Structures are given as C-alpha cells and as structure tokens.
C-alpha cells in the first residue's frame, strides 16, 4: 500500500494549489515504527510529509464533525462509511468534502506484531509485497502481512471506499466472509456463561474512555458518562459502572457503527470492545436489513421505523 | 422475615397504559402491588439509560408499556420505541441478563383487564427468577 503515498501527495498538492480545499486530512509517518499519526495540512509545502502504509488504522472521519471549512480527506473503506454517517447526521456537508479514496487491504495490528516479537519493540519496520519485516538488533522478523491484520480488517466487507471523488489506486476485491462467527459463539452460551464472559472481558478496563474518543461517532457535546445530574454512569471503577459504560456505549453506536476498529485499536489494555458493538450490528442487519454508512440517503435504523417491524416479545 | 417480594418499575405512557392502570383501579380489578408506576409522556420517551438506572438502584424487573402501534398520541413515538427496545433487550440478553426481567407491552387506556393480567404476568415472571443479581450497584459498606 506504500505506492498510494505518491498519489495521495499528488492529489493533496493539486487540491491545495488550486484552492479547492482549505485543509487536507491524512497521515504522516509516526516517530516510532508501526505508528502513523493523523496529519492536517494547510499549505502545499507540507505535502511531502503525507504518508500511507498499513499502519493508518486510525479513523480520520473523527476530525470532520462541525468543521466549517472545505476539507480534503484521505479515506479508506471504513473512513468513507463513517463520512456517510456524518453526512446523514448533519455533521458535515458533502459539498464541503473532497474525498481521496483509498482501496484498503487491511491495517496492521501493532499488538499482534509485538506479541510475535515477545514484546520487543522494533526499531525499524518495513512493508514488503504481502509481507511485513520488523527489525531490532538480533531479532529480524518477516511474516505474512495477513498474519498481522486487525481483527476487524480480517472480516471487512467494505475495503473499497463507498464514496469518493478520486481514487489513489485500483479497487481491490471485496472479501466474502461470515462476519458474525464470534457473535454466534457467544450467543450459543448460557446466560450465566455470557455474563461471566463479559465480566472477564471488561475486567481490565481503566475507564480511560479512549474507545470513546477514538470513535468517529462519539461527538456529543456532553457524553453520557460525563453527565452529572442525573448521573447515568458512576465515575468509579465499580464493576456495574464499567459494564453500564460499555453497554451504553455499544447501544449509542447501534446502527451507526461501521466496525472500523478504532475503539479496539485505541484501548490501552486490549479489551475487545467490538464484541458489544458487533452484536448490535448483527441484529440490525437481521431485523431491519440495514448496514451503516453504505447508502447515503437512507435514514439510520433507529431514526426510522416500518409498520411491520418485528416485535418478538411485546405483549 | 416476610417472603421476598419483587420491586418492579413500570414506565407507563400517559396516554394509554397509565390510563388503563387508572381504569383498573376504578374498576376494582386486582393486581399485585409490586408495580411502581412512572408516568412518561410516551413509550418513546423511555431511554435505555432509565432502564439501566432502575436496575442499578435495585429494581428486580422493568416493564415498559405504551400505546398499540398506530395509536401513538404523537403518531409514531411507540414505533421508534419498538425498534429501540427490541435491540436493547437483545443486547441485554446477549450480555447475560435474564430475559424475563424485562417486559414490554402495548395496552390502550380502555384495556384495564389486559393491564391487570399483564401486571400479574410480569410479577409472576420476576418472582420465579428471584431477586436481581446483575447490574446492581452495591454501595460501599461503611462501618
């Protein structure tokens, strides 16, 4: 995916030089290997800092809500779906945007690489064709890049951007996968086992709210966790409070979540928070046939209804 | 000590279920006294936060009741609510909560008998489960 860098720079340069946009949102190379950082550029001389490889997992749609200016944005499949969600939710107008679409082959999970290297951070990383090489002193490790993909990228069915003004490469082939095997596995457990499963899952949670901050959907002026009167979620590390937080967070993104994986990527203790949101995604798909951020003129599922909606347990 | 009785929080729509509770009372229909009624303007007003807050503060069961689909005073509030609660209940089940603690119903203001019947059903279901164990916030014990 390194080849995209040149095309992205070209596009950004053209857009800024022709004054088509005020700012371009992309990535630049991070200061340590395997970590690229979001980068906003406003002038042509910054263009050569823009960069693209398989460590651009952060969702750039997060920088869009309520921007007043004209924005050029680099968007892979999931970012583009979140842009659609933002447009639907009136967070930004389509006319303000120039979307530089990036067909994506999945992003790398730094944690997996670190685990494979027994926790020894690489000083150097490079991406070869279908491979990733990480180096530090004695340990020179080359592995298949698919081996290190993020969980959500493995089951991604929208690798190509759904809306774009130009593409930086040829569209890639979409995967045909069953997205919900893990949800079904949990569904098959007994109620008690499920409770224990989630209890264990969120046990290390520090309530740092990194998952919330990384999420492009979380743009409320006051988040429910910060509300004090009434206080819906306690501030302590109490088990019930932590569970309430994760539960409501998942419910809050119901029908909007595009499974971009930003939350899991941001979690400092590696909680698989997507386990909550994926259940919502599955239900909405099965009950209402809706997939978030794919069609730009359909209302989100919780903002609409059909007369014959299923009501399995209403008396 | 007397036998355990469940506490049930009922969110009743002002335009229908609350009226039916009233009618049930006026008609001298018997139903268990475990129900704590909270009057809301519409079943669509009930936020999942309310339900979790009730559980956290020690409710053993929750019952949300509104107008029949198509009869909403605000035209469509209960239709949004229907989607919201379907997903909510599914997610609660998924995370290990007993499904029998959460009840939803459509009761018009003329259906006092249905109100009394449903109330009995809800209380029976929660009684069978016993006291709530999940989502309760235990206050720190102070000596």
Chain A neighbors of B98, CB-CB under 8 A: 191
**d(Cα B109, Cα B24) in Å, to the nearest integer?**
10
Chain A neighbors of B139, CB-CB under 8 A: none
B141 pLDDT more than 90: no
Nearest residue in chain B measured CA to CA from A313: B104
Mark yes or no for CB contact A244/B98 under 8 Å: no
Parts of chain A with a pLDDT under 70: 1
Task: Indicate the pairing of strand A23-28 with strand A139-144.
Answer: unpaired
B115 pLDDT more than 80: yes
The answer to whether the Cα torsion of B40, B44, B49, B51 is positive or negative is positive
Residue B140 binned pLDDT confidence (cut-offs 50, 70, 90): low
> Which one is predicted more confidently, B41 or B134?
B41
Q: What is the per-residue pLDDT across B12-57, written as a single tens digit (0 to 9) for each?
A: 999 999 999 999 999 999 999 999 999 999 999 999 999 999 999 9
CA distance B4 to chain A (A): 23
A143: left (phi over 0), alpha (psi -120 to 50) or beta: beta
As a whole number, mean pLDDT of residues B118-138 equals 92
B132 pLDDT more than 80: yes
Chain A neighbors of B86, CB-CB under 8 A: 283, 287, 309-313
Of B56, B90, B104, the CB nearest to A240: B56
Chain A neighbors of B52, CB-CB under 8 A: 232, 244, 247-248
Contact with chain A for residue B138, Cβ under 8 A:
yes
Nearest residue in chain B measured CA to CA from A303: B80
Mark yes or no for CB contact A309/B89 under 8 Å: no
B142 pLDDT more than 80: no
pLDDT value at position A1? 66
Q: What is the per-residue pLDDT across B46-86, written as a single tens digit (0 to 9) for each?
A: 999 999 999 999 999 999 999 999 999 999 999 999 999 99
Chain A neighbors of B121, CB-CB under 8 A: 315
pLDDT value at position B48? 95
In words, the CATH class of domain A1-107+156-177 is alpha beta
**Predicted model pTM:** 0.93
CA distance A315 to chain B (A): 4
Q: What is the per-residue pLDDT across A98-147, written as a single tens digit (0 to 9) for each?
A: 999 999 999 999 999 988 888 888 888 888 878 888 887 778 888 888 88
Mark yes or no for CB contact B86/A193 under 8 Å: no
The count of CB pairs under 8 A between chains A and B is: 107
Mark yes or no for CB contact B96/A197 under 8 Å: yes
**d(Cα B64, Cα B32) in Å, to the nearest integer?**
16
Residues 201-260 of A with CB under 8 A from B: 224, 230, 232, 234, 238, 240-241, 243-244, 247-248, 250-251, 254
CATH 3.40.50 residue ranges in chain A?
A: 1-107+156-177
Mark yes or no for CB contact A244/B103 under 8 Å: no
Comparing CA positions, the residue from A139, A112, A98 lying closest to residue A55 is A112
CB B89 within 8 A of CB A312: no
- Helices A191-201 and A274-288: angle between axes, nearest 10 degrees: 130
Nearest residue in chain B measured CA to CA from A227: B49
B1 pLDDT more than 60: no
CA distance A227 to chain B (A): 12
pLDDT value at position B143? 62
pLDDT value at position A123? 86
CA distance A228 to chain B (A): 13
Angle at the Cα of A166 from the Cα atoms of A163 and A172, rounded to 5 degrees: 70
Angle at the Cα of A214 from the Cα atoms of A212 and A219, rounded to 5 degrees: 60
Mark yes or no for CB contact B94/A186 under 8 Å: yes
pLDDT value at position A135? 81
Work out the burial of residue A141: count CB atoms within 10 Å of its CB; fewer than 13 is exposed, 13-18 middle, 19 or more buried. Answer: middle
B2 pLDDT more than 80: no
Residue in the block written with tokens 């809500």: A65
């Amino acid at each position: 995916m390194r080849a995209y860098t040149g095309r992205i720079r070209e596009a950004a340069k053209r857009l800024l030089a022709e004054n088509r946009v005020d700012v371009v949102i992309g990535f630049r190379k991070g200061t340590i290997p395997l970590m690229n950082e979001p980068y906003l550029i406003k002038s042509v001389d910054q263009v050569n800092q823009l960069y693209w490889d398989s460590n651009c997992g952060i969702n750039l749609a997060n920088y869009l809500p309520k921007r007043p200016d004209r924005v050029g944005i680099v968007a892979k499949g999931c970012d583009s779906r979140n842009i659609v969600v933002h447009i639907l939710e009136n967070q930004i107008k389509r006319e303000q945007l120039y979307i530089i679409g990036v067909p994506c082959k999945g992003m790398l999970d730094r944690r997996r690489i670190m685990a494979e290297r027994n926790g020894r951070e690489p000083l150097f990383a490079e991406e070869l064709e279908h491979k990733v090489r990480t180096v530090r002193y004695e340990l020179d490790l080359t592995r298949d890049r698919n081996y290190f993909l993020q969980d959500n990228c493995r089951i991604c069915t929208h690798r190509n951007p759904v809306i774009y003004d130009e593409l930086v490469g040829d569209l890639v082939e979409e995967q045909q996968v069953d997205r919900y095997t893990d949800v079904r596995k949990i569904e098959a457990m007994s109620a008690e086992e499920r409770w224990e499963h989630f209890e264990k899952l969120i046990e290390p949670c520090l309530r740092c709210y990194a998952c919330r901050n990384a999420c492009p959907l979380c743009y409320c002026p006051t988040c429910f966790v910060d509300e004090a009167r009434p206080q819906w979620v306690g501030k302590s590390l109490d088990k019930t409070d932590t569970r309430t937080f994760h539960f409501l967070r998942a419910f809050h993104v119901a029908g909007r979540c595009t499974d971009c994986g930003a939350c899991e990527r941001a979690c400092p203790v590696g909680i698989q928070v997507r386990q909550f949101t994926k259940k919502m995604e599955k239900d909405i798909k099965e009950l209402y046939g809706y997939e978030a951020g794919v069609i730009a003129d359909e209302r989100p599922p919780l903002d609409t209804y059909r007369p014959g909606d299923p009501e399995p347990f209403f008396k | 000590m007397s036998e355990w009785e469940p506490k049930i929080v009922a969110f009743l729509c002002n335009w229908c279920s609350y009226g039916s509770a009233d009618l049930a009372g006026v008609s001298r229909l018997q139903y268990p006294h475990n129900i704590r009624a909270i009057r809301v303007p519409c079943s669509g007003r009930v936020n999942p936060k309310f339900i979790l807050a009730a559980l956290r503060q020690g409710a053993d069961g929750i019952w949300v009741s509104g107008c029949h689909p198509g009869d909403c005073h605000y035209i469509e509030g209960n239709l949004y609510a229907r989607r919201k609660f379907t997903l909510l209940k599914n997610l609660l089940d998924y995370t290990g909560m007993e499904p029998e603690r959460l009840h939803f119903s459509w009761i018009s203001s003329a259906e006092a008998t249905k109100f009394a019947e449903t109330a009995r059903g809800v209380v029976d279901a929660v009684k069978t489960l016993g006291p709530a164990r999940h989502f309760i916030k235990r206050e720190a014990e102070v000596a």
